A and B are shown apart, each in its own frame.
Chain A
Amino acid sequence: MLTYYILAVILLVLAARYVVLLLHKRKNLSEAEVDQHLLTLLNDERESYEKKAGRPVQEKPENHTRL
């Protein structure tokens, strides 16, 4: 009897996998969207990142070249 239960579990696993893959397909992300997402993540929080670091990260070269 256990065999049938396990086969049922396998069927459920496959069904779950199918649903997950279908959801991925529905999202249909492109590499351009991934790139945009990365740029947003890197640049949107820039201000807070600089504040956390206590100074703009490249303040030094800027000051130096201003000399």
Chain B
Amino acid sequence: MKKKLGVQFRKSRKTTHAFERLKYCKHCESYTVLEHEECDVCGRKNSFLSLRQLSHILSRRHFQKQLLILGLLICLAILSADTLWQLAAASVGGVVSLLLYALLQKKYSIYEKTNHFMRLISKEHDKIKSGLTRNLVEVNEDVEAERFKDAYEKIREVGCLFHSDAVKVCKIMLLNRFVLRKDMELELETLIPSTYDRDFIEYLGEVLKVQPWLLKKSVIDYVIRYKGNIFLEENGTRVIGQVAGAALRMKSYVVMYQDFISESLEYIPRERLLRLAKLLKANPDENWGSLREAASSLIETRYSFDPDFKGVL
């Protein structure tokens, strides 16, 4: 068994949208999600713009270009005036049109900016992809140099934008190299692969020991889908018991997954079974189906002499 590393991950930036993690180098026009101070392509320092900033600059340029065209047309109108009356009309028309343009801009530019942003994303997504792929190469180099912590911190950033199985599996592999702790910034739902992955199950078992609150519906659904495969693993029954035990944290999960919990009762740790028994007792009117009978019969056969279980169910 490989030795696990004790590490302290750097805090990951919290962002509302994934695109906020992307940085654009204004010198070489490349993209990255890694937290380097200098661009890894051209080596320049402080050359990064956020995608939002880039989009605003492009919108401003678009606005300036249109303003220039309008200004030129107004100048042309003034210059081509043959009479004083035409000169006055051109001047007044020019001022009014500039005012109208400014008014339109003020009122609607916010909608235009978002549209420009959307267009920018469509235009730049290939470049963004190659930037992320370049970042993954760096992750690869870190893994080869056994800088696993750096590799994970980097792939965690890339994983916010790339959701492929390969990225998830690589993250799981790296996470399985670390000693997991309660105070760590860990993930679970974002790692669920689209097919069965034994390393994910190994990670699931480890992460639930320290952060059972990471268990969500999608994880339980995955475990139910691949229950047969999990049972074949060395620690399969323990993981099933942990998942069923962690599902007891939420009453809604117990209601929703009562069949799964009922089938996994014998693998649930004692303390979780006690919690289930208390939950069933506190909610006698809920339709528990076979869960109540299964729990009582297990308690009777296994914990009949345990004082904690006396009179609970």
Contact = CB atoms under 8 A, between A and B. Distances in A.
Contacts of A20: 112
Contacts of B140: 58, 60-61, 64
Given A3-B80, A27-B111, A60 B143 contact: yes
B89 interface: yes
Nearest to A22: B108
Given A30-B114, A56-B166, A61 B139 contact: yes
A39 B125 CA distance: 9
B1 interface: no
B114 A7 contact: no
A66 to B, nearest CB: 7
A25 B111 CA distance: 5
A62 B118 CA distance: 33
Contacts of A43: 162-164
Contacts of A66: 173
Lowest 5 CB-CB distances: which A-B pairs, in order? A65-B173, A21-B108, A6-B77, A35-B17, A61-B143
Interface stretch (B66-74, B230-238, B253-261, B298-306): B66-74
A22 B104 CA distance: 10
Interface of B: 16-19, 66, 69-70, 73-74, 76-78, 80-82, 86-87, 89-90, 93-94, 97, 100-101, 104, 107-109, 111-112, 114-115, 117-118, 121-122, 125, 128-129, 132-133, 136-137, 139-140, 143-144, 151, 155, 161-164, 166-167, 169-170, 173-174, 177
A7 B77 contact: yes
A29 B144 CA distance: 43
A49 B19 CA distance: 20
A11 B74 CA distance: 11
A32 B20 CA distance: 11
B112 A24 contact: yes
Interface string A1-27: 111101101110110011011101101
B123 to A, nearest CB: 10
A16 to B, nearest CB: 10
B121 A37 contact: yes
Interface of A: 1-4, 6-7, 9-11, 13-14, 17-18, 20-22, 24-25, 27-35, 37-39, 41-43, 46, 49-50, 53, 56-62, 64-66
Contact of B173 (A29, A38, A50, A62): A62
Nearest to B136: A58
7 contacts: A3-B82, A7-B93, A10-B93, A31-B117, A59-B166, A62-B166, A65-B174
B132 A13 contact: no
B129 A34 contact: no
Nearest to A11: B97
A66 B17 CA distance: 32
A50 B129 CA distance: 11
Contacts of B132: 42
Contacts of B161: 38-39, 42
Contact of B114 (A34, A50, A58, A64): A34
Given A4-B86, A7-B89, A29 B97 contact: no
Contact of B169 (A1, A30, A35, A62): A62
Contact of A64 (B74, B107, B128, B144): B144
Nearest to A7: B93
Given A4-B86, A42-B161, A65-B170, A35 B19 contact: yes
